[in-house]
Structure 1
Amino acid sequence: MAELRYGDDPEPSDRFPAGPLYVPVRPGTSGCAARLFRTPLGERTAVGFTSPRRLTATLGPGQPWIRLAEPALRALTAPLGIATVTVDPQFTAPAPAPVAPVTHEIPALRTA
């Protein structure tokens, strides 16, 4: 049995390519832009899914996507200061409901 030398054993925090991902995008006039999200702690992250089924289950059937390799997604978001890629996120918050505008006036305070 070969003995592993220091440096041969990968660290758990080492990044390994996740393979081709289905990346949610926002279509625009100049093409598509990758949608960016936030982690539960508020850190910005790029998101990719390993299948269209997982993307649809999380973001809905109307979400446009493109296919990108994980290193390409990292290279795309690195100039924006985003170092994290989240693969197959499962929990999302529902979209906030629109707030109706206030139509009544607040009465003025009377001074004595």
Structure 2
Amino acid sequence: MADILSDEDPEPSDRFPAGPLYVPVRPGPAACAARLFRTPLGDRTAVGFTSRRRLTATLGPDQPWVRLAEPALRALTAPLGVTTVTVDPQLCAPAPALVPAPALAPALLPAPASAVPALWIG
């Protein structure tokens, strides 16, 4: 391996585009919008999948999607301050289970209108 003669850090390897991605979208008033997600550290990220099967396995069969190249996805989300694109995310939290709300105790129910005293301004 060649020694680095400069005291500067070497350039990082160039990123290669992932190719056309399946990008999850949500419907908007005029068109679709790319869905943005959060990384484990809380930063926003755009997400793309290399196959429809991977998208469906992660987000479910009802998730709408569009095909975009990685550079197009980056250009779409850059004005929003999103600089990260995550391809084929592995770890996703499951959707929260719906839990029925507990019934309110009678003491916590609102009083009938006839039991509420009227406010007199005079």
- Cα-to-partner distance string for 1:18-61 (whole Å, 9 max, x where unaligned): 11100000012211000000011111000000000000010010
- Alpha-carbon separation, structure 2, partners of 1:28 and 1:101: 34
- Alpha-carbon separation, structure 1, partners of 2:104 and 2:22: 44
Which structure 2 segments of 5+ residues have no match? 1-5, 109-122
- Percent identical pairs in the alignment equals 78
- Alpha-carbon separation, structure 1, partners of 2:79 and 2:15: 18
- Runs of at least 4 residues of structure 1 off by over 4 A? none
Counterpart in the other structure of 2:104: 103
Larger Rg: 2
- Alpha-carbon separation, structure 2, partners of 1:78 and 1:25: 16
DSSP 3-state at the match of 1:23: strand
Counterpart in the other structure of 1:42: 42
- Alpha-carbon separation, structure 2, partners of 1:10 and 1:26: 37
Matches within 5 A, 1:19-38: 19-38=19-38
TM (norm. structure 2) is 0.71
Which structure 1 segments of 5+ residues have no match? 1-5, 106-112
- Cα-to-partner distance string for 1:60-88 (whole Å, 9 max, x where unaligned): 10000000000000000001100000000
Aligned residue identity for 1:26 = R
C-alpha change, 1:61 and 1:103, in structure 2 (3 Å) is: same
